[in-house]
Structure 1
């Protein structure tokens, strides 16, 4: 069987929009250069699409044209290393998932324990947010919420008050164990994040539970977030303006 036929058979078994590289086709057997040439010939024929250098996908075609792969597929190699989680989706795509905005962005943001320069993949700009907590599969949803609080002023197509209302609903929907875990994770976030989280949790948990957040804050520091007192009645207590 020719290299191209072998590759085509493998691709036919892949899900639509799955992003792959030459490594998915056993380069030790067929040779890296032969595989890359075959893939590029298939791109030229319109059988597959190219996301960026060395990255291809099986496109879904609609009456409006080719549908790009979902954001996870675009950056999955930046989120894990073998069985280890090294990053997670955050920012704009998560704001939409959490119901904080309806605006769709071509920027994909990734939380990682290291700082990396931004990059471009196809239509997407990929930027990185430094995460000081250890990243695990279990705490990623909580980190995403904390990130949304951290960047509340940058959530597009909404107001601070509306974003605060939605974030309170999200925090309120969490289990008590998750709320306690958020308090622990928030210790590695900026003070205004701890203040805003504390103000949200104060009406949901005991004073003792939120005490670590209050004790971590400088009592004379003011946090200019722009939340209305009508939206967050205890904002003054937490020095939120």
Structure 2
């Protein structure tokens, strides 16, 4: 089979929105140059779309226009390296998934141990949040919850009061072990995040992790979260006002 025929055949089998590079074809085609030329010809013909330099995807046409790939596909090269997880999606898209907002912005935020300057990729702006905890597949959902607590005042199209009510329901749905892990991971977050989590766990009467969190907080520091007292009656116990 000719290289161009093999490339076209393999692309036809890919799901729409899947992001690929020339490397996906090097198992059967020896020449990188031949693959790149074939992909560029297909992009010019409109059979595939170019996401960024060296990155392509199968576009999906709708009555409202061509859809971009899922956000995780757009940035997957920054979430995993050599089979190891090095980043995770956070920010607006995750706030939406958690039921904290109905909005999904054009900014894709990624949590990583080592961050870099933001940049554009197609219609998206890729931005980074520094994560001090080791990132694993298992703790990503907990880190996403903590990120929402950390940036609770920046969640769009909602209020702090509404966000706290939703976060309370999310934390309540976790197992005791997951709540304890959440408190452990929170130790590397700002004091305001630890205070909010402590108040949420205290309301659920989970005493073990709240004791650990309280010991890390300055007893005279106040944390401003407008509307928190309406959603969290014990907020003042944690100097939240």
TM-score, normalisation: structure 1: 0.96
Which residue matches 1:58? 58
Deviation (angstroms), 1:59: 1.2
Deviation (angstroms), 1:37: 1.4
RMSD: 1.3
The runs of 5 or more residues in structure 1 that have no matched partner are none
Which residue matches 1:222? 222
Which residue matches 1:205? 205
Deviation (angstroms), 1:205: 3.0
Which residue matches 2:146? 146
Deviation (angstroms), 1:46: 0.9
Q: Distance in 1 between matches of 2:205 and 2:179?
A: 9
Which residue matches 1:239? 239
Cα pair distance change 1:215/1:81, threshold 3 Å: same
Deviation (angstroms), 1:119: 1.6
Which residue matches 2:186? 186
* Correspondence 1:1-241 to 2 at 5 A: 1-26=1-26, 29-241=29-241
Aligned 8 A contact 2:191 2:217 in 1: yes
Deviation (angstroms), 1:27: 7.4
The runs of 5 or more residues in structure 2 that have no matched partner are none
Aligned 8 A contact 1:110 1:127 in 2: yes
Aligned 8 A contact 1:93 1:108 in 2: yes
Q: After superposing the two structures, state which structure 1 stretch, 60-69 or 187-196, moved more.
A: 60-69
Q: Distance in 2 between matches of 1:21 and 1:206?
A: 48
Q: Distance in 1 between matches of 2:177 and 2:227?
A: 27
Aligned 8 A contact 1:48 1:59 in 2: yes
SS of 1:145's equivalent in the other structure is helix
Deviation (angstroms), 1:230: 2.1
Q: Distance in 2 between matches of 1:200 and 1:206?
A: 9
Q: Distance in 2 between matches of 1:171 and 1:10?
A: 43
SS of 1:88's equivalent in the other structure is strand
Q: Distance in 2 between matches of 1:197 and 1:110?
A: 22
CA deviation map 1:72-116 (0-9, x unaligned):
100111101122110000001100000000012111000001121
**Alignment: residue pair count:** 241
Deviation (angstroms), 1:208: 3.6
